[in-house]
Chain A
């Protein structure tokens, strides 16, 4: 059963713009995690936000969590072509994933 559902499924922006991806989840969570995957490669952990946190920053990444709405967002500021990848949210005791958002950053 999928825990996270990302929105939009695909996002195309220009280099330098900000990219925002959203995630909704179904059950209660202890934390919510965001991962990045370059085409055909393994997933890389980006950031973890705990259920008692509302916002967290890491470099150009900003994650928010709204447990009342069971939703989270990932903001990538000043995007670069190298940010082109799929982004997944995941949560739950067994860490189940959504289908991801495919982000394309055009030079």
Chain B
């Protein structure tokens, strides 16, 4: 089944403790992206990647890192999480430049206390 898999689904952590949210897709998509969703703010793009070793900032990249060493994986790294990063996170992938529509993961609900 074609899918984007995010882990974990739920995570509660403490301020400053580094964490990684994994994202993997099995559709050989070039394009992958991370979004966060907050009430009243909609979905905002954090980082995106056009292909392996090609990443770029989205609209809200501060406090996040990403890497794209393999085509299928696009982990989101929070080096020092803060409470304002409490949010619902989504990973998405698409064939080149989203011309075929995006496939989204099920989301990761992160709480930073």
Contact A94/B106 with A42-B90, A48-B101 known, Cβ cut-off 8 Å: no
Query: B101, A45: Cβ atoms under 8 Å?
Result: yes
Indicate if B75 sits at the interface (CB-CB under 8 A): no
In the complex, what residues of A have CB within 8 A of residue B92's CB?
Answer: 43, 95
Query: B58, A33: Cβ atoms under 8 Å?
Result: no
Among listed A12-20, A59-67, A68-76, A96-104, interface-contacting one: A96-104
Indicate if A78 sits at the interface (CB-CB under 8 A): no
Which residues, 1 to 60 on A, are CB-close (under 8 Å) to B? 1-2, 30-31, 33, 35, 40-45, 48
Query: B40, A41: Cβ atoms under 8 Å?
Result: no
Query: A33, B101: Cβ atoms under 8 Å?
Result: yes
CB distance from A55 to the nearest CB of B (A): 18
CB distance from B12 to the nearest CB of A (A): 16
Which residues, 57 to 109 on B, are CB-close (under 8 Å) to A? 58-59, 88, 90, 92, 94, 97-107, 109
A31 and B103 CA atoms in complex are apart in Å by 16
Among the listed A31, A42, A88, A97, which residue makes an inter-chain contact with B99, where contact means beta carbons less than 8 Å apart? A31
A90 and B106 CA atoms in complex are apart in Å by 18
Known: A90-B102, A96-B59. 11 other contacts (CB 8 A): A30-B97, A42-B4, A42-B105, A43-B43, A43-B102, A45-B102, A45-B103, A48-B100, A88-B42, A94-B33, A97-B35
Interface residues of A (CB under 8 A from B): 1-2, 30-31, 33, 35, 40-45, 48, 88, 90, 93-100
